[in-house]
Structure 1
Amino acid sequence: MKKNKWSLLLAALLLVSTVLAACGGGSDKSSGKGSKDSEQVLRLMNADQIPTMDSSLATDTFAFQFLGESMEGLYRLGKDGKIEDGIATEHKVSADGLTWTFKLREDAKWSNGDPVTAHDFVYAWRRAVDPATGSEYGPYMMGGVIKNATAVNKGEVPVEQLGVRAEDDYTLVVELENPTPYFESLTTFGTYLPLNQKFVEAQGDKYATSTETLLFNGPFTLEKWTSTSNKWELVKNKNYWDKDSVKLDKITFVVVKDPQAGVDLYDKGQVDRAGLSSDLVDMYSSNDDFITIPQANVFYLKLNQVRNGEKTPLANVNIRKAIMMAVDKEAGVNEILNNGSIAANGLIPKDFVKVPGKDKDFRAASGDLAVYNKEEAKKYWEQGLKELGVTSVSLEFLGDDGENAKVFNEYVANQLKTNLPGLEITIKNVPFEQRLDLDTAEDYDIQFSGWGPDYLDPYTFLSLWVTDGPNNHMGYSNPEYDKLLQDAQTTLANDQDKRYEAMLQAEKILLEDAAIAPIYQRSLALLSSPKVHNIIANQVGADYEWKWAYIK
């Protein structure tokens, strides 16, 4: 989630700041230094460690990226977002849109030789919503979609009543709570991956903590990995049903958080892609290897209204509105990021989906809902301080610790302090996994966060902020907002025109409440070796698809 979708979430998770530009890795210029053109080895960087490889527990863009390459669900994403065959070869949908029947291929195997069957999907999906698992994404991705998913997660009905069953080893039947037009794309996402029950249960608490405690059924196997690894590999899976389509023998990864260090590796020919910070864009934008990749990932400030059981100053709507208006986003994207990213004046990204019947981009139809205006920001700020009965406020600003992230976090914090007199900001930059933990614990005031879409529908963004939602984690609640989103998934599910009108209205409410402060929509600036071909940048789900990539 993109991802995340994403989570990316991401998503992201979903991820914070352009440190994620390094996700793609780095490259030697066009000379091909350091490797032979005939070698099918791609050498990339990752911006941080992989927190988990448990598909039921994954919540971030790194986990979903590597799950997506080492595992395969019913379908996977191909070029231009086209849905390609995975373990499923076909499906049928009932006339009422509630029952989906998938036919599975009989030549798919796990990396230990076991066949991949419909039972593996039933087990995995039940595990994802079982309250004993403690999954965040299970109830988020399946609740309101698969029949009884929410009731199972709340402990109201047994897990066996989840709307998924194996009619036989190679026929999977799924019952939905409501018609879900985007369900096919949902099945490409990491939470919907299958699991080998016998293997998972044999590993116990050690499952998905290292290469040795994982099974794979995707294009690659993840090798030399533990949850604390700074280096690992994806190796072509010889048991994969479509192995002839996989040209790469191996992809190597090294964690690099500093963009300059990544470019140094690229210039030395030790990696094949490198993300660029703004100062490096100025240096390399005329380089033949320079590329930009527009994305649907949106970054924003989460404004936590309740911390450790106590209301924060951010529970005041005027304080939130002031913060939402106080950051010069155009200067941020043009002068700090300098990578093609654009200012975000709403939650739903530009060029993501069109409003049915209007042939108009959702962002254009919704308009600018969160614009920079320091004069108005100051007025809201003064009113908020008056209502709180204080003359100053001190807030903690939580962000990631990558070099690009730290620079942008400093910029945003300075904008807030400069434009809102009496505001004191303490920046807390932490490793990515720690930030996720602090988010889950709601132990922050302001957090710089982001979301990559998990599927091609505005609901993937808007559902983040429903009351007590598994990704809310900031104490926001608005019954009218909740009702609009509930209607979008239930009574309006078969009327796309009215459904989109409900989601347009929901976005307006979210930003009238200043629940979050949108900052920018990401674009990645990279150096990419001309030897590298056919890496697919996804709009939803995992950031990249490497199945069809090759070196030439």
Structure 2
Amino acid sequence: MKRRTIAALLACTMVIGTLAGCSSEPKNPGDSDTTVTETTAAETTAAAQTGPKVFNDYMTTDIDTLNSHIYTLSASADVIKPTTLLLYRQYPTADGKSFEYIPELAESEPEQVDADGKIWQIKIRENAKWENGDSINVDDVIYSFQMCLDPLMVNNRASQLASDYITITKATDYYLQGTENKVSWDEVGIKRNGDYMLGLELDAPVTAADIKSHFNYVWTNLVHKPTYEAGMNEDRTKTSYGSTGDTYKSCGAYILTEWVPGSVFKMKKNPDYVLADHIKLDEYVYKVVADRNTALELYLNGELDEVALSPEAIEQYVDDPSIKVAPATSIQTLAINHGNTNNNGILGNLNFRKALFYAVDRQSIAKMTNGIPANYLVASKCLGLDGKTFREMPESQEYLTENLGYDPKLAKEYYDKAMEECGLTSLTLTLQYNETSANNKAASEFLHKSFPEIFGDSFTLELMAAPSGVLNSYIKGWKDGDPNSFELQWRGWNTSTPAPWNGLKVYTGMYSNKNEPYYNDEVDALWEKANYDLEAKMDSAYRLELTREIEKIVLDEVAACPVYEAPSYYLINPKVILPSDGYIPGYGFGFTISDKEV
């Protein structure tokens, strides 16, 4: 099929009135590159919209919860973040080229109290309030943190609050103790220094930048105590907070006004938001759609204001001047269940994992996904030194495998060794992928065919498509006592752009939300040094060298098998006024703080 605009094909059914033809409709609502006089539905909608500024967005999967202590899906974070408060939040710099952390619920910068940098305090704003008018003070912050770390609730985000950019004294011991009651809450380094003053006691010296980065994440958001408590079960091991609109309270830039599961989320501007001047839109709406192709149809029909193009649509729009490109947010990897006991535990065999690594033709998969082949774990978006990204630095390239890691002969040698070591003559594995991901479907089908060609007739790769929620339950299975809950599954991590050392926490033993049961004491020690050692904090080159050491170990042990990165290609309604001309590294397009012509 010749490259042509999908809009031209859809316009025939979108014009108002009877047309003689549909020749050359604009590719982007409101953006005309011809002198055609036909009127599309998008243009009609735009012309009629003189009322509130509404940004219509979408998600291709429903959320799992709005409880920031236990959520697992990025779609959930997309609704939680704009409707609650953080101590510090990312906002674009004045020139729109980067981002900075500015006080949100905090009134000012973190204040160092001691000489070592281990005791800090944060002043809380006195004008913040919940959507129902309840005032917010330091007790809301402390309650939110205490519930996240609650040892009976065993929340999956507890480890990240306890120890990430900073390590809060006794926080890890507290949340891991279960019913032992050996560590009291009073021993945890989260203190009430006044009605509007939060105190912090930390295990290691940190900088103000570390504190702001730590309290910028979703799991450090506020939860509303009366509503959280109302949903608590009798033994206080679970709460229904955030499971429905009635069990959730907003206090952020927007107020959640409507939640129809599997359909729509509506959020209106919060007039009492502490940084209200930053919000230009009157309403922000998420529609849950089947996939990105459905979203594209809605966009072309004027019902959405942005769309990330599917792999099929990219080919049609790649030359469109209105396209905006965002770097891949994560590396798509094959998560390997090392602890699986089936097939004589072959997934725990290093030779077999190396066989998988060298059998992946990353270049071919990247071509079919419009992606970038990845034989590494630190994403290409991550920043390095001297104006280079981490991946552009020569030191970050020298240890990567040749030919993007593709070596069929070596892969077969490792496979034969592993099969002999595990006493197997045949092997069948199942690779799971998200049923809505066209990229991972194509990549899975490619591996289904190519792996047996390399390994021989003794190997079979079966494929299993499933919703994201089901896939998450399989990943969670090995943590809940079922070592054989999955074998191989496509996964991706959205790592930190400015702090690649921090993003590698997913391969440490202290990370509770990890995909695979991979543990390495050396990796743990290096990660702690990169994140907490004062020398590392003061010497960026040394910190990046520690990052490389971690990546080398994890790659060598094939903790997971990296395959590709997939940049995103967006069409954005030209009536939307972004805070920058394009994508801001480490921040995004800033849709929720955009403006819109009406």
- TM-score, length-normalised on structure 2? 0.81
Equivalent in 176, 183, 188 of residue 154 of structure 1 = 176
Paired-residue identity, % = 24
- In the TM superposition, 1:302-381 aligns within 5 A as 302-307=335-340, 312-334=345-367, 336-338=368-370, 341-354=371-384, 361-363=389-391, 364=393, 365-367=395-397, 369=400, 371-381=405-415
Map of 1:484 onto structure 2: 526
Taking structure 1 as reference, are residues 352 and 302 closer, same or farther at Cα in structure 2, changes over 3 Å only? same
Q: Secondary structure at the match of 1:461?
A: helix
Map of 1:174 onto structure 2: 200
Taking structure 1 as reference, are residues 439 and 534 closer, same or farther at Cα in structure 2, changes over 3 Å only? same
Distance in 1 between the 2:538 and 2:88 partners?
A: 26
Map of 2:138 onto structure 1: 118
Is the 1:37–1:531 contact (alpha carbons within 8 Å) kept by the matching residues of 2? no
Equivalent in 504, 509, 512 of residue 462 of structure 1 = 504
Residue type of the partner of 1:63?
S
Distance in 2 between the 1:85 and 1:486 partners?
A: 27
1:138 is displaced (CA, Å) by 1.5
Is the 1:296–1:539 contact (alpha carbons within 8 Å) kept by the matching residues of 2? no
Q: Secondary structure at the match of 2:472?
A: helix
Alignment coverage as a number of residue pairs: 520
Distance in 1 between the 2:192 and 2:590 partners?
A: 29
Residue type of the partner of 2:502?
T
User: Structure 1, residues 307-351: CA drift from partner, whole Å, max 9, x if none?
Assistant: 3799631111111011112222222222x222xx32222111124
User: Structure 1, residues 333-385: CA drift from partner, whole Å, max 9, x if none?
Assistant: 22x222xx322221111241325xx7754333322535222232222222222
Q: Secondary structure at the match of 1:519?
A: strand
Distance in 2 between the 1:165 and 1:309 partners?
A: 48
Higher relative contact order (CA 8 A, sep 6+): 1
Taking structure 1 as reference, are residues 131 and 308 closer, same or farther at Cα in structure 2, changes over 3 Å only? farther
Pair 1:58-2:71 in alignment: yes
Taking structure 1 as reference, are residues 538 and 377 closer, same or farther at Cα in structure 2, changes over 3 Å only? farther
Map of 2:15 onto structure 1: none
Map of 2:596 onto structure 1: 551
Distance in 2 between the 1:245 and 1:494 partners?
A: 31
Distance in 1 between the 2:107 and 2:584 partners?
A: 22
Map of 1:262 onto structure 2: 295
Distance in 2 between the 1:539 and 1:250 partners?
A: 25
**Greater CA deviation, 46-55 or 269-278?**
269-278
**Greater CA deviation, 512-521 or 56-65?**
56-65
Taking structure 1 as reference, are residues 192 and 456 closer, same or farther at Cα in structure 2, changes over 3 Å only? farther
Structure with larger Rg: 2
Map of 2:39 onto structure 1: none
Is the 2:59–2:286 contact (alpha carbons within 8 Å) kept by the matching residues of 1? yes
Q: Secondary structure at the match of 2:144?
A: helix
Equivalent in 70, 80, 92 of residue 111 of structure 2 = 92
Is the 2:327–2:381 contact (alpha carbons within 8 Å) kept by the matching residues of 1? no
Map of 1:276 onto structure 2: 309
Map of 1:4 onto structure 2: none
1:305 is displaced (CA, Å) by 1.2
Map of 1:192 onto structure 2: 220
Map of 2:476 onto structure 1: 440
Taking structure 1 as reference, are residues 538 and 140 closer, same or farther at Cα in structure 2, changes over 3 Å only? farther
Q: Secondary structure at the match of 2:593?
A: coil
Distance in 2 between the 1:412 and 1:89 partners?
A: 53
Is the 1:28–1:273 contact (alpha carbons within 8 Å) kept by the matching residues of 2? no
Taking structure 1 as reference, are residues 239 and 359 closer, same or farther at Cα in structure 2, changes over 3 Å only? closer
1:544 is displaced (CA, Å) by 6.1
Q: Which has the higher strand share?
A: 1
Q: Secondary structure at the match of 1:261?
A: helix
Taking structure 1 as reference, are residues 535 and 522 closer, same or farther at Cα in structure 2, changes over 3 Å only? farther
Distance in 2 between the 1:303 and 1:107 partners?
A: 49
Is the 2:384–2:544 contact (alpha carbons within 8 Å) kept by the matching residues of 1? no
- TM-score, length-normalised on structure 1? 0.87
1:439 is displaced (CA, Å) by 0.6
Is the 1:305–1:311 contact (alpha carbons within 8 Å) kept by the matching residues of 2? no
Q: CA RMSD in A?
A: 2.5
